[in-house]
Chain A
């Protein structure tokens, strides 16, 4: 099998010792000519698939404030208020598991791929229905 791993007990002659350094020489020389493997996020955009779980967004106009998402949330990050018509999420308590998105009967919760940015205070986002 190509690349079968057969460990030896170490090279003993001078020529064998020199040859032993060769397997690593290939990635070392290649990395001289390639650009860095790291991306300078957040200054450069991070290419991400659409499936990625970044943060939860709500379409407030369709929400009926039934509270199912708040009950299903494993970390109790969501709070709904029927009288105020508000939907609140603590961004730093949310574990982006998308249990709320699956449980919502009106399908008004969506998982977006942008991550919550770092901040010095724990951000809380509130959405109010206008109707």
Chain B
């Protein structure tokens, strides 16, 4: 056995989008194991629910993370609405689904840029983020904000998209899709990308199940698990094609995310076609009393919201189990046996959202 050194990776590192600390146990540049340590972005948001009115907490919930922001707000609202027995109008449900799928497009485009940056392919990073700007302009146009929308509220949504705006929205979506063909084609065919990603960080189907992997990490290993098939929000009326791959390496995870991008664009167009007219909110009276779970499919996997109210203005407990938290064991397994230069690629391949992990 060679001599082992412990190298600290993070929390400050140019390739990491958010701070996470890993102690890498190295033997001559091969990682033998990794020991994680989190808490650098911990804001105690689960404790804050005891001090903020449950209606005001929506603003805090959507600031848990910048990329999955809309789905956090939506998950919190769905859980509280289930506890209070509120029926959200159909049009509001469809609007939430449109924004949720557009959040997925935003997140995967951002991830593609970060992955290209981790490999060193900076111009692909810039082009992916240029496409992302179209998506942010679409959010600006319909909700008023680029990253944090404040569009969801308990009982419905705060904004509506009228017919003229919807037409501009779909035109912008067409521009995103055209630009996407070039970027996705590069990911598929480019030699340097396939050389870096193929065969790296292989996770077999049995390993993914034992480690509790979620989202694209599990789907790339052949587990067709997607919370959208359970029919929450408007997904009961839309048929979602779950994208899976069998090989379980980094290239498979990239291809699952890119195919989900195309699928999300198709779902947005379908939602815009079949969206019914009607009110966008219902009035909320009383306080939540009871407990409930809400499950959504965030871009990174399945998120679970548990909300417990005692009849007062403040909730007793809010628990948010985010997908990156559940994907950490898969990351630790993938890091074993990897070379030091591949560590950033492996960390980015699970699409880490540390703000979500630590709340």
Main secondary structure of the interface of A (DSSP, over half): loop
Whether A97 lies near B255 (C-beta < 8 A) is no
Contacts of A24 in B (CB 8 A): 123-124, 182, 185-186, 190
CA A20 to CA B186, docked complex, whole Å: 8
Asked whether any CB of chain A lies closer than 8 Å to the CB of B133, the reply is yes
Taking the complex as formed, is B142 at the interface, i.e. its CB lies under 8 A from any CB of chain A? yes
- The residue in chain A whose Cβ has the minimal distance to the Cβ of B133 is A37
Once bound together, how far apart are the Cα atoms of A11 and B185, in whole Å? Answer: 14
Q: Does A5 count as interface, using CB distance less than 8 angstroms?
A: yes
Rank and list the top 7 A-B pairs by shortest CB-CB distance, nearest first. Answer: A23-B185, A3-B181, A10-B194, A53-B144, A24-B186, A97-B150, A7-B255
B135 to chain A, nearest CB (A): 14
> How many A residues face the partner with a CB closer than 8 A?
36
Whether a CB of chain B sits under 8 angstroms from the CB of A27 is: yes
B156 CB to closest chain A CB (Å) equals: 13
Binding site for A on B (CB under 8 A): 52, 56, 59-60, 123-124, 127, 130, 133, 140-145, 148, 150, 158-159, 177, 179-191, 194-195, 198, 251-252, 254-255, 258-259, 262
- A21 touching B59, Cβ below 8 Å: no
A2-B181, A5-B255, A37-B130 given; name 6 further pairs at CB < 8 Å.
A5-B259, A11-B191, A22-B189, A23-B185, A74-B59, A97-B59
Contacts of B133 in A (CB 8 A): 37
Residues in A neighbouring B186, C-beta threshold 8 A: 23-24
Q: Residue B190 contacts which of A20, A27, A37, A48 (CB distance < 8 angstroms)?
A: A20
**Do A74 and B60 form a contact, CB below 8 Å, given A24-B182, A27-B127, A53-B150?**
yes
For A30-60 the 0/1 string (1 means CB < 8 A from B) is 0000000100000000001101110000000
**What 1/0 flags go to A1-28 for Cβ under 8 Å of B?**
1111111111100000101111110111
Give residues in A with beta carbon < 8 Å to B: 1-11, 17, 19-24, 26-28, 37, 48-49, 51-53, 72, 74, 95-99, 102, 111
- In angstroms, Cα B194 to Cα A8, docked, is 8
- Of B144, B184, B258, which contacts A51 at CB under 8 A? B144
Bound complex: CA A72 to CA B153 (Å)? 14
Verify A51–B190 contact, CB threshold 8 A: no
Can you name the residue of chain A whose Cβ is closest to the Cβ of B259? A5
B123, A28: Cβ atoms under 8 Å? yes
Chain B residues with CB under 8 Å of A37's CB are: 130, 133
In the bound complex, CA of A8 to CA of B181 (Å): 16
B258: which A residues are within 8 A, CB to CB?
Answer: 5
B258's nearest neighbour on chain A, judged by CB, is A5
Residues of B within 8 A of A53 (CB): 144-145, 150
Closest A residue, CB atoms, query B182: A27
Give the distance in Å from the alpha carbon of A2 to the alpha carbon of B254 in the complex.
Answer: 19
| Minimum distance in angstroms from B138 CB to a CB of chain A | 10
Structural contact, B190 and A21, CB atoms closer than 8 A:
yes
With A and B bound together, what is the CA distance between A16 and B148 in angstroms? 44
CB-CB nearest in chain A for B243: A5
A44 to chain B, nearest CB (A): 15
User: Please, which residues of chain B bring their CB within 8 A of the CB of A74?
Assistant: 52, 56, 59-60
CB neighbours (8 Å) of A11 from chain B are: 189, 191
CB distance from B201 to the nearest CB of A (A): 15
Q: In whole Å, how far is A54's beta carbon from the nearest beta carbon of chain B?
A: 9
Contacting pair B127 A3 (CB below 8 A): no
Q: Which of B127, B188, B190 contacts A6 (CB 8 A)?
A: B188
Evaluate contact between B262 and A5: CB separation under 8 angstroms: yes
Do A7 and B187 form a contact, CB below 8 Å, given A27-B182, A53-B150, A74-B59? yes
Do B140 and A48 have beta carbons less than 8 Å apart? yes
Inter-chain CA distance A95–B254, complex, in Å, is 35
Contacts of A3 in B (CB 8 A): 177, 180-181, 184-185, 262
Q: How far is the CA of A98 from the CA of B286 in the complex (A)?
A: 23
Instruction: Select one of B141, B177, B251 contacting A7, CB under 8 A.
Output: B251
B150 touches A98 (CB 8 A): yes
Which chain B residue shows the least CB distance to A26? B182
Closest Cβ–Cβ distance, residue B180 to chain A (whole Å): 7
Query: A10 is contacted by which of B181, B187, B198, B252 (Cβ under 8 Å)?
Result: B198
A-B contact pairs, 5 of them (CB 8 A): A7-B187, A23-B188, A24-B185, A24-B190, A102-B158
Cβ–Cβ contact A17 & B191, under 8 A: yes
Among candidates A10, A49, A111, residue contacting B140 with C-beta atoms closer than 8 Å: A49
Question: Is there an interface contact between A5 and B159, defined as CB atoms closer than 8 Å?
Answer: no
